[in-house]
Structure 1
Amino acid sequence: MMLFILDESLDEIASDPKHEVYPKLIDEITALARARNAGRAVVFLESPKIYSYLSKAQELSIHTKSVFSFLNRQRSFKLEILKSVNVAVRITALESQISAATIGDRYELRVPVSKIPYDLFNSPVLLAENLSDAKAYIIFTRMALAAGVTGFPPIGLSAELRGGGGSTIATEYIASKNKGDRLVLCVLDSDVRYPDGPSNAWSQAIKLHDANHPSALTSSEIIDVYSIENLFPLSCLPDLKPYKVDENAAFALSKDLPVLHEHAKQPYWRYIRLKNGVSCGDLRDSGELGKFWSKHKLAFDNFSSKKCKTPPDACKHDCARNPRFRENTLQAFVERYEEAPAAELKSLHAGIPAHIAGHFDSLARVIASWMCFGKSVSGVAAA
């Protein structure tokens, strides 16, 4: 769950049982205590006084008071977490509407205590184009956490993972935004084939909707590579089921891996369609796609599909000019690493191509901030 800050402005309400918002505060404090006890929330008490007021509230159960007693004792520890996360929710008495603000390097969602949505304290939704993508993004985040990447809070992850069904993801994201009762982070493939190229239609639809109908409770991230597979460390491939159970696939991979490693050293790696390949058609395209890939055509002379035995300039077809991932590589990656221990994930992180490592870690940092703490997702230890 995202980090919740109980703003010091709540002191005035908590100290006065006759305050008109006091009953609402008591209800939300009880709900937040349940969420914290279930491992779905990180809570920071900004004021050192609020617990003293809550401890005297006759309306609160002993259990709720004990949760806030624990939170009060952890204020200094949570302050360190607050310094690390780049997204947080501030529950406040100073705002009249849900809004957002940037505080230093942190993006804060400001929610008036009188207008807390019903499901705000539930686990946030991580929405991706399919469920395997969502699971892989969690694995990526665990890899960065295991590797000790700077700027990460000492957390676990709690999220409800959803797959939007490819191009229908825009419809689901907009529906979630319109409902307005839940934190939702949407992460999408870009399908961008060359620098400054257009992203896919559904990513554009989501970004346009965000620009015209902003919501503090939802956010979208378009990855800065063609697809999620471009973020994979190549060192994982030999351990995936398709290559372990099929001798022909394993043999082909042994020949393909050196070629893939050479391509992965180049900035154009982020634009390769790893499930389709850079094709002869790409290299002779008359537009921006062709202008970009023709600069690199010599790099693709060292490999061609069985159908293509001619130089790129001479071929009139769309033969693949680099080794391709199998269609089920993503599912196999999730199956292999969803329960992997931190030490194994740390070693995977070391194999990420250098020119995408920064984006990989930045994306993982965003996901960690939205999904932080609480119950572990696939073996992450809760803080």
Structure 2
Amino acid sequence: MVIQLSRELIESINNNHPNQDEIDALEYIALCRKEGSQVITGNRQVIKHIISTSGLTNRAKSIYKRIYEDVTKNRHINKYVSHVINVIRPYGESEKRRGETTYIDVPLNRFRNPSLIQNTVLLVENVDDAKVYNKIAKYYAYSENVSTNIEYSVIQGGGGNIHDQLEQFQRRNDRIVMCLVDSDKKHPSDELGQTAQNALSTYDEECSLCHLVILKEHELENLIPVYFLRRSTNSNTQERSAVENIDSLSKVEDLSKIRKFIDIKNGTKLGEIVDGFRDVDNVELRYLSQAFSSIHYDCVHPPNCQSPEQCRCTINHPVGANNTANAIQSVSQSPLGHIDEHINQSLSIAWKSLGRTIYSWLCSSMPVRS
């Protein structure tokens, strides 16, 4: 994450004679940059003032000289991130100032805690999910031609207790944490699934160091390009047929919204999503009967599914948990250029939007080698 040393530190560090709390905090920030766990930057005048501060070790001063040298390189990084930690005067008030970029004011004295300068915690439902989120963040950085250095410590919360782990991190408020969960929504206006509801009810937006992201899509699998799903299924199987149906949804603009909410692993019936698309003027459902012979014309002109629980109109058969897991693994191992060749425009937009946020919380620096 970008940690920015604010101008007000010049006046607040007691005329080059800071107290021990401030010295310890500045030492830990230097250590953070040395290890490369976060991106440390700031105004040149601020950094020069810190370098001249008495009480700092020579090792720390040499690291701040490196930060000073990197100011030009990092000068524009704030425009590529959604969140920045802004280090303010000691014992000031923590605050989030929201805008196109959200600045999170954190008092200098908070950095006396060595936990705060470790890699960002990536709290996810499944460890394998983290590999794809990492790739999505790097894809965003790749597309913007900025550094793709990313470091994090992954913690698997599991669907049942991820909100408990989030609550513990918020209570301690001593680690930088990003939590990502599936929405499990079946259509745009659907309620969040239980895991997302629990996480949202636990999340404290004013907690300065934690951030929750609920996917706009049904789940992570909806962000996997068709190319990788196809590679993970055998030809002439029902699973491959399901992938081709998903491909049809991806290619038709009027059906792309539905593609975001189908259950790729377990399959989707029309009756499961119809409540979200009952408007007679909604073209998504009307196009479905043209795209798939399994969708009955009378069910969607206008949408009048009478018994969703007994629906036999199949949008997509299950691709299967093993096949989707293999697709996720394939994505995580693929070069960014290869992904860029095989991702369609709508998914590319979704990856870049989500990637900007993930990148903001996970971006890091190359370690300083002494």
- 1:333: Cα distance to partner? 3.2
Amino acid at match of 1:82: N
| Alignment equivalent of 2:319, drawn from 322, 325, 331 | 325
| Alignment equivalent of 1:115, drawn from 101, 110, 128 | 110
Amino acid at match of 1:157: I
| Alignment equivalent of 2:176, drawn from 178, 183, 191 | 183
- 1:182: Cα distance to partner? 0.8
Q: Secondary structure at the match of 1:89?
A: strand
Residue identity (%): 20
| Alignment equivalent of 1:260, drawn from 246, 249, 265 | 246
Partner Cα distance (2:79, 2:288) in 1: 47
The answer to whether residue 155 in structure 2 is matched with residue 165 in structure 1 is no
Distance change >3 Å, CA 314–CA 200, structure 1 → 2: closer
- Is contact 1:276–1:324 with CA below 8 Å preserved after alignment? yes
- Is contact 1:9–1:94 with CA below 8 Å preserved after alignment? no
- 1:290: Cα distance to partner? 6.9
Amino acid at match of 1:3: V
- Is contact 1:276–1:320 with CA below 8 Å preserved after alignment? no
- 1:328: Cα distance to partner? 2.2
Offset from partner CA, 1:37-56 (integer Å, 9 cap, x none): 11112111324254255245
- 1:281: Cα distance to partner? 4.3
Partner Cα distance (2:321, 2:46) in 1: 57
Partner Cα distance (1:4, 1:106) in 2: 13
| Alignment equivalent of 1:272, drawn from 262, 270, 282 | 262
Partner Cα distance (1:289, 1:53) in 2: 59
Partner Cα distance (2:163, 2:112) in 1: 22
Offset from partner CA, 1:25-77 (integer Å, 9 cap, x none): 211121122221111121113242542552452x3332221111111122222
Partner Cα distance (2:53, 2:161) in 1: 50
Partner Cα distance (2:90, 2:172) in 1: 24
* Structure-1 residue corresponding to 2:235: 250
Distance change >3 Å, CA 53–CA 28, structure 1 → 2: closer
* Structure-1 residue corresponding to 2:302: none
Partner Cα distance (1:314, 1:206) in 2: 34
Partner Cα distance (1:193, 1:232) in 2: 17
TM-score, L = length of structure 1: 0.80
* Structure-2 residue corresponding to 1:23: 20
* Structure-1 residue corresponding to 2:332: 338
- 1:373: Cα distance to partner? 1.7
Amino acid at match of 2:224: F
Partner Cα distance (1:204, 1:255) in 2: 33
Q: Secondary structure at the match of 1:250?
A: coil
Partner Cα distance (2:163, 2:110) in 1: 27
The answer to whether residue 124 in structure 2 is matched with residue 128 in structure 1 is yes
| Unmatched segments (≥5 aa) in structure 2 | 300-304
Q: Secondary structure at the match of 1:335?
A: helix
TM-score, L = length of structure 2: 0.83
* Structure-2 residue corresponding to 1:85: 81
Amino acid at match of 2:32: A
- Is contact 1:109–1:216 with CA below 8 Å preserved after alignment? yes
Backbone CA RMSD of aligned residues: 3.1
- 1:255: Cα distance to partner? 4.4
- Is contact 2:246–2:259 with CA below 8 Å preserved after alignment? no
- Is contact 1:39–1:374 with CA below 8 Å preserved after alignment? yes
Amino acid at match of 1:233: P
Instruction: Name the count of aligned residue pairs.
Output: 351
In the TM superposition, 1:185-224 aligns within 5 A as 185-210=178-203, 214-224=206-216
- 1:83: Cα distance to partner? 3.1
Partner Cα distance (1:101, 1:290) in 2: 39
Distance change >3 Å, CA 180–CA 130, structure 1 → 2: same
- Is contact 2:228–2:330 with CA below 8 Å preserved after alignment? no
- 1:346: Cα distance to partner? 2.4
- Is contact 2:179–2:211 with CA below 8 Å preserved after alignment? yes
The answer to whether residue 364 in structure 2 is matched with residue 373 in structure 1 is yes
Q: Secondary structure at the match of 1:108?
A: strand
Question: Where is the helix percentage greater, Structure 1 or Structure 2?
Answer: 2
Q: Secondary structure at the match of 1:44?
A: strand
Distance change >3 Å, CA 295–CA 346, structure 1 → 2: same
